Amino acid sequence: MRTPTATILLATSLLLGCAVDYEIELPGGYVLYSESRDNQVIASKSGTATSKYIPCNVEAYTHNNTHIVVRQRFSPSCFWKQKNRPTQEEGKTYYWIININNQTIQGPMSYEYFVKIKTNEHPHLE
């Protein structure tokens, strides 16, 4: 026989367990939140509902001590529902640069613009 407390705890853990499958800590207080392989975002751990973030789906990322570089393909069914979602075309690939030192996010950018910014402003990035 289940007690009401056990039922409440089970229901709560099931609800909370479905929110995010896993998290990966990134430099500078950023986190990759993953609900599934095709439903991943990067956001600041200390961010608010209006903080800039990288929406679904994060396809690849790399980082060093100063920057996180991200390739993202827009997915309208993203689980991360914040107010400031950038306007993007479904299925299109975008690029982002997170400056860890000053906590800024550049993007979304086309590949051509990303290469230009990387070459002119961040030549040390791979």
Query: Could you give the CA distance from residue 112 to residue 123 in angstroms, rounded to a whole number?
Result: 15
Name which residue leads in pLDDT, 12 or 87.
Answer: 87
pLDDT (tens digit per residue) in 109-124: 999 999 999 999 888 7
| Tokens, residue 79 | 């689980």
- Nearest Cα neighbor of 42 from 2, 14, 69 is 69
Q: Is 119 helix (H, G, I), strand (E, B) or coil?
A: helix
Bridge pairing between strands 30-36 and 22-25:
antiparallel
Is residue 97 classed as helix, strand or coil in its secondary structure? strand
pLDDT confidence of 82, banded at 50, 70, 90? low
* pLDDT tens column, 36-79: 888 999 999 887 767 789 999 999 999 999 999 999 998 888 88
